[in-house]
């Protein structure tokens, strides 16, 4: 599933053709994806202007001048693909032939066509009042954004205090910090030299606080690289992300640790049904 860097990369790709543009015509080609689409979604989108294109955790939020916000979740295999964008220097793709898994198509008044393609149909779209978006059931329980000011050293230390869960599980808890997924938590803990099995509440406050700048560094590096292309993920212009070429531990089971002077080997264990990659010699 795309994590925060992948979703942010897609948002940035959509920004030039969506923000400020009008949805001249919306097509909804099936009644549902992971959940049913809202009633009359095509009619509610048609004619609406996108006033702001934002992101909350792993959700893209298209604020409309109708007072509603279109919530987009990519799920396991969802893609937002752009064709026919007229802006010089942005995207120059020819119009594409409709594909089997093109479920929602937005025809923008600037000539761009934005298609939500989702082969596995684990993605989702919903419409909700903009002024109550923080109370939407998908968003209301999310923790602070890891790249925002609310995610501070003091906040994280207090949020983890007394937690008996492993630090990796705690960082994956979207109520503590939103948007982090399996790939980037593995990379964060490696850079922090913390074992993923350490109990979150037993880690010294100084080491807990040090996680905050490392989280931001890893996410910023991944966004700069266009995210990580594993399985189905593509950027909005169809290109791959490249952060997977910078992985230091994730998906490197049995390979040598990249830390200088470390003779360790990357191990893989399972935590809460997910693969965790780490160096038992470096990460304590």
Q: Which single residue is written with the structure tokens 């893989």?
A: 268
Catalytic option among 11, 58, 191, 234: 58
Contact between 143 and 156 under an 8 Å Cβ cutoff? The reply is no
- 202 annotated as ligand-binding: no
Tokens matching residue 283: 């990460």
The C-alpha torsion from 32 through 34 and 35 to 37, rounded to 10°, is: -40
49 catalytic per annotation: no
What is the distance in angstroms between the CA of the first residue and the CA of the last residue of the chain? Answer: 28
Residue with tokens 């990357």: 266
Residue 7: closest CA among 249, 234, 183: 234
Tell me if residue 39 is catalytic. Answer: no
274 is catalytic: yes
Q: Which of 101, 120, 121, 104 is nearest to 70 (CA)?
A: 104
Question: 121 a known binding residue?
Answer: no
Query: Which tokens go with 2?
Result: 């795309």
Give me the phi and psi of 78, to 5 degrees please.
-70, 145
Q: Which residue has the tokens 């952060």?
A: 243
Annotated binding residue 216 = no
Distance CA 34, CA 46 (A): 22
56: which strand partners? 59
Closest CA to 76 of 98, 54, 101: 101
Q: Is 166 a catalytic residue?
A: no
Instruction: Assess contact for 84 and 112: CB atoms under 8 A.
Output: yes
Among left, alpha and beta (phi > 0; psi -120 to 50; other), residue 261 is: left
Residues 272 and 58: their CA atoms lie apart, in Å, by 20
Q: From the annotation, which residues make up the binding site for DNA?
A: 101, 120, 163
Active site residues: 2-3, 58, 274
């Amino acid at each position: 599933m795309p994590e925060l860097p992948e979703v942010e990369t897609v948002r940035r790709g959509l920004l030039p053709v969506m923000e400020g543009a009008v949805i001249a015509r919306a097509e909804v080609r099936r009644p549902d994806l992971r959940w049913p689409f809202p009633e009359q979604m095509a009619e509610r989108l048609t004619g609406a202007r996108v006033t702001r294109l934002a992101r909350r955790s792993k959700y893209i939020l298209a604020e409309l001048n109708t007072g509603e916000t279109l919530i987009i979740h990519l799920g396991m295999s969802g893609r937002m693909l752009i064709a026919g964008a007229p802006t010089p220097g942005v995207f120059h793709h020819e119009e594409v032939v409709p594909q089997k898994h093109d479920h929602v198509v937005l025809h923008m008044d600037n000539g761009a066509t934005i298609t939500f393609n989702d082969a596995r149909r684990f993605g989702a779209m919903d419409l909700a009042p903009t002024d109550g978006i923080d109370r939407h059931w998908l968003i209301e329980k999310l923790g602070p954004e890891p790249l925002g000011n609310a995610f501070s050293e003091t906040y994280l230390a207090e949020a983890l205090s007394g937690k008996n869960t492993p630090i990796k599980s705690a960082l994956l808890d979207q109520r503590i910090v939103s948007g982090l997924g399996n790939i980037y938590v593995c990379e964060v803990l490696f850079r922090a030299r913390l074992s993923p099995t350490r109990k979150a509440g037993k880690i010294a406050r100084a080491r807990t606080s040090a996680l905050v700048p490392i989280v931001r560094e890893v996410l910023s590096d991944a966004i700069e690289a266009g995210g990580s292309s594993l399985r189905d993920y593509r950027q909005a212009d169809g290109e791959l992300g490249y952060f997977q070429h910078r992985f230091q531990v994730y998906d490197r089971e049995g390979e040598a640790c990249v830390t200088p002077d470390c003779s360790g080997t990357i191990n893989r264990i399972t935590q809460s049904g997910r693969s965790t990659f780490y160096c038992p010699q470096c990460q304590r």
